[in-house]
Structure 1
Amino acid sequence: MTVSLHTAGPRVITLWDFSWYTRTGPGEPFEDLDRAFAEARERGYDTIRICAMPFLLFRSGLDTAALGLGPLGGAFGQRTRWYDVRHTTTIDARAHLLELFRAADRHDVGVVASSWEYQQSPSFAATPDWYEALHAVDPEVRAEVLADAHADLVDLLEAEHLGHRLLLTELHNEVQIGYLTDGLGVGRGDDAVRALTPRLERGIARFRARHPDRPVTVNYAGVPVGALSALPADLDALVVHPYVYGVLQELVDTFGLRGPVDEFDEERARELLRPGAPGLAAWTVPPGQEWRTRATIMALPELYVHDWCDPRAWDRWLYDRWGAHRLAMFQRLTLWLEVAADVAAARGIPLVLGEGYVGYTPLHGRFEEDPVGAEICRHALREARRLGAWGAVVCSNAAPQHPMWSDVALQQECAAILTGADRPAPAI
C-alpha cells in the first residue's frame, strides 16, 4: 500500500520508545495496551513513536518467542527516567509487536516506527545476546541491516493487514548519538552528522528498494544547524529533537555528568544528592551484569546522579539560574524550529518534532511539567503549529512511563494548541 505524509495534520505524538515492551509487568504502564491507548486518546494523542525492535525481531537470528526483559539489576537505574523498569517479564516479542499494532488499530492511532537498539534497548534484556548480535554487525553496514529489518517489519504488517497503521519508518533514533557512529573517528556533533550520511543513504536506498511506497527517514538529536546541508538527500521527512537545554546544560557541565568517570567531581555533586548516597564507585550493576552499562550510551556519572539526587535540590538548582537562560532558551527553540522548517520546505518534505523540549531530567524532577517547563512546551507547540509541522510531541516526558502522564489537562491543552483546537471557531 502507498502511505503519504502529505495528509491532514498535524499529528500529536506520544513517545512510547522501548518502554512499551520493557514495562509490561504488574502495575506497570504498559501492562494493558488498550488502557494505554485509551488514555493517550483522552489526552489528545493520535500517534505513538516506538522502538519496533526491528533488528532483534528480523535480523538478529535470535529466538524471540520468550524474550526475557527486566531491570538493570537491584536498585540501579530505578530513579532514572526510562530506566526504572520494575519487573522481570517474558514476552513473545513478535506477537507483542502485532498486538501493539492491533491495539493501535482499535483506537485509531498511527505509529512512527524507529529503533533505539544501538543506544539502549538491549540493556534491558535478560542476556547480552541481543547486544552482542548488534555489535557483531560491521558498522559500515549497520544502517543497511536496519533497513532490511524495517522492510521485514513492513512485510509482516502488510501480511497481517496492519500496514495502514504505520505512518513513517525511521531507520534509527538520534543517529549521531550512539553506536551507529562506530569506526568513523568522530564525536557526537556535526562532524558525526556529516560522516554518517553515506551509511544512512545506503540504508535508505535499501529500504526504498523494497518498499518504494513507504515514507522512510532517520532522525537527529537536537537540530544539527551546522550540518543540515549534509543530511541524506532522499529523506521523506526531517525528524529532529529540539532539546534546548540552556540552564540544564549549565547543570550538566557544572557537575560533569556526561564526562569520563575520572573527571566527575563527586564532592561537588553532593549538593544535588540525597543524604546517605553511596559513592559513584559503589553504585553499579550487580556482578556479571557489566555488559548492561556498555549496552546503553548513558554516562555513568549522569545515571548515578539521577538515581541519587534529591529532585527538589535538582529543580531548585535550575530555578535559581533560570533567569540567566530564559530568553536564550526560548530564542533557541524558535530559531531551531524556523531553520528546520525552512530546510524541510526547501526539500519539499514534512517536519517532525520527535522529541523535546528542555532535556533529560531525573525521573522525579518536575522542571519540565511545572510552570517554566510547561510554558516551553506550549511555546514549542505554538511554533510547530505556526510552521506547519506534520507532527510533534507535547514533551518527551508526556508518556505513560513518566510522571507527567498524570497531568491530563496540560497534555490536552498542548494537543489543542498544536491542532488549532484551542482557537475559537470563526464566525459564520
Structure 2
Amino acid sequence: MTERYLGSGTIPETHDGLTGAVPAHLPQRLTITLWDFSWYTRAGDGEPYADLDEAVADAASLGYNAIRICAAPLLLFGGLGLDDLASDLEIEGLGAAPDGGYYGQCTRWYDAPGGYSIDLRGRLLALFDAAERHGVVIILASWEYQQSPSFAASPRWFEAIDAVPLDQRYRVLADAWDRLLGFLTEHGHRDRVALVELHNEVDFSILPALADGGIREVSRLASRHPDLLVTASYGKPPHLAMHRLPEGLGAAQFHVYSYGVLDALQKRVDIRSEGSADFPNAELRALLRADAPSVEEYGRAAEWKYRATVITDQMIYGYDWVDADAWDTWLLEHYGPYREVMRREIESRVIAIAEWARAHRVPALVGEGWVGYTPLHGTFEESPVGRALAEHGIDTALERGVWGVVLCSNAAPHHPMWQLRDWQRVQNARILAAAQ
C-alpha cells in the first residue's frame, strides 16, 4: 500500500529539549514563586516576609529554585533624587479605611497594612544573600510603572517616575538596571540573576509599546551584560499573531491567564471598571457581605494612589466587601460550560509562547498564570478545579520545553495558597525531574 503523507512532510517536528539555551550556571528548569513587590510591602512584624532568610528557606523546602521580584530599579538606581527614600521607605499600603481596617484588606497583592519603614537597597542584598544560602536564583523585574509606588506613604516615588517623559522611560529603566546589576556584581551576586526584565507586563503598564523604543533599550542593556538574559514581559502577548512581537527579546517571559468563568463573573458585577453610575449594580450587591458599607461610606484611598496603579476604586470596594463563599459558589456553579475553553486556552497560549521562543532560540518562561485575579479569601484557584487547570498548564509547559514556570500566581507566601504545601512539593518535583 502506498504511504500517503497528506502534506505532513518527511522531516519530523520535535519539541525535545528547551526552547533555547540558558547560561550553564543556571538550573535547567526553574520552579518559580512570584514574590513581586510583596517581599517589601508585606514585610512588617508578623507578615510573610518579615524574615527574608526564613521565607527563602521555606520556599526552597517546597522545591522552588527561583523567586521573581520587583527589584524597584528606578527607586534604587534611577538617578531620580530618591536615595533618601530608598534607604528609609515608609510602607503604608493603600491607607487606612474608615471601618478601622485598610483599603485592599481583602484583595490579593493589595492587602498591605503597612506601618513600617525599610532600607530597600539593604533588603535587596539581604534577599540575594539568603538566595545564595539556600540555592535559589532571582528573576529581576520592575512593577514600578504598574503599581509598586502606590504602597509607599509618600507620593514622591510615583511623582518622580511619572515626571519622566514617556519616550524616555525605557531608557531610564535600562540605565537603572545597568547600575543595579553593577551593584549586585560588586557584592558577588551576579550568578544569582536568572533573568532581567526591563519591566513587568509592558502591555499593562504606564509605558509606550515596547516597539516604541523599549526593544532598543532591551538590546542596549543586553549588550552591556552579554552573560545575562535580558527581556521584557507581556501580560497578554498576541497569541494569535506572535509575529507582532519585536525582535530582540532575550527570553519569552510571557504570562498565561485564562479568565473564562472569572471574566464572566467580573463583567456581570462590573467590578473592574471605574466611574460606573450604578456601581455597585444589583448583581454585585447580591454577592456582598451583609455588613458591607455603601461606596460613599467606605470612601477611597488617596487619589494619587489610583494614578500610581492599574486597579480601580471599584475593584478595591468590591473585593474588600464581597462574600468570598458566594463568589466561589457562583464560579463553581457556572464553570461547566467554560471548562474545555479554559483548558484549551491555557494549552494553546503556552504552545504559542513556546513555539515563538523555539523559533527565536530563546528560553521560554511562564512567570504568571493561570486563571486570574480573585478575592483574597476566594478559593477557586486553590480548589481541585483551579489546581487541575494549573496542572494542565504545567504539563503543557514541560511538554513544550518551557524553561521556567509558576505553579500558580497565587503560590507565594503572601497568599493562602501557600498552605497547600504537599501539592506544591509534588508539582515542583515533577518540574525539576524534567531537567534530568
Higher-Rg structure is 2
After TM superposition, the score normalised by the length of structure 1 is 0.91
CA distances 1:302-355 after superposition (whole Å, capped 9, x unpaired): 221111111100100101100010010001111111111111100001110000
Which amino acid counterpart does residue 229 of structure 2 have in structure 1? P
Task: Give me the whole-angstrom Cα distance separating, in 2, the residues matched to 1:383 and 1:5.
Answer: 24
Deviation at 1:267? Answer: 2.8
Q: CA RMSD in A?
A: 1.9
Task: Give me the whole-angstrom Cα distance separating, in 1, the residues matched to 2:107 and 2:250.
Answer: 34
Partner of 1:374: 387
Partner of 2:267: 253
Deviation at 1:284? Answer: 3.3
Task: Give me the whole-angstrom Cα distance separating, in 2, the residues matched to 1:106 and 1:82.
Answer: 27
Which amino acid counterpart does residue 32 of structure 2 have in structure 1? I
Deviates more, 1:203-212 or 1:342-351: 203-212
Task: Give me the whole-angstrom Cα distance separating, in 2, the residues matched to 1:112 and 1:7.
Answer: 11
**SS in structure 2 opposite 1:278?**
coil
CA distances 1:351-376 after superposition (whole Å, capped 9, x unpaired): 10000001010111000011100111
Task: Give me the whole-angstrom Cα distance separating, in 1, the residues matched to 2:24 and 2:91.
Answer: 34
Q: Which runs of 5+ in 1 are unaligned?
A: 182-194
Give the share of equivalent positions with the same residue, in percent: 45
**SS in structure 2 opposite 1:219?**
coil
Q: 1:197 aligns with which of 190, 206, 211?
A: 211
Q: 2:428 aligns with which of 395, 415, 421?
A: 415
Partner of 1:4: 23
Partner of 1:87: 114
Q: Which runs of 5+ in 2 are unaligned?
A: 1-21, 97-101
Partner of 2:164: 137
Partner of 2:12: none
Which amino acid counterpart does residue 65 of structure 1 have in structure 2? S
Q: 1:305 to 1:199 in 2, by over 3 A?
A: same
CA contact (8 A) 1:377 1:414 kept: no
Q: In the TM superposition, what are the counterparts of 1:101-120 in structure 2 within 5 Å?
A: 101-120=128-147
CA contact (8 A) 1:5 1:350 kept: no
Task: Give me the whole-angstrom Cα distance separating, in 2, the residues matched to 1:104 and 1:419.
Answer: 18
Q: In the TM superposition, what are the counterparts of 1:140-155 in structure 2 within 5 Å?
A: 140-155=167-182
Task: Give me the whole-angstrom Cα distance separating, in 2, the residues matched to 1:414 and 1:277.
Answer: 38
Deviation at 1:377? Answer: 1.1
CA contact (8 A) 2:25 2:191 kept: no
Confirm whether residue 22 of structure 1 aligns to residue 41 of structure 2.
Answer: yes
Instruction: Say how many residue pairs are matched.
Output: 407
Q: 1:43 aligns with which of 62, 86, 90?
A: 62
Partner of 1:167: 194
Q: 2:296 aligns with which of 281, 300, 307?
A: 281
After TM superposition, the score normalised by the length of structure 2 is 0.90
CA contact (8 A) 1:242 1:355 kept: yes
CA contact (8 A) 1:72 1:285 kept: no
Task: Give me the whole-angstrom Cα distance separating, in 1, the residues matched to 2:230 and 2:109.
Answer: 26
Deviation at 1:66? Answer: 1.0
Task: Give me the whole-angstrom Cα distance separating, in 2, the residues matched to 1:262 and 1:248.
Answer: 20
Q: 1:244 aligns with which of 258, 269, 288?
A: 258
CA distances 1:142-174 after superposition (whole Å, capped 9, x unpaired): 111111111111100011111110110001111
Deviation at 1:259? Answer: 2.0
Confirm whether residue 314 of structure 1 aligns to residue 333 of structure 2.
Answer: no
Q: 1:126 aligns with which of 145, 153, 165?
A: 153
CA contact (8 A) 1:378 1:417 kept: no
Deviation at 1:196? Answer: 3.1
**SS in structure 1 opposite 2:153?**
coil
Partner of 2:94: 72
Q: 1:285 to 1:209 in 2, by over 3 A?
A: same
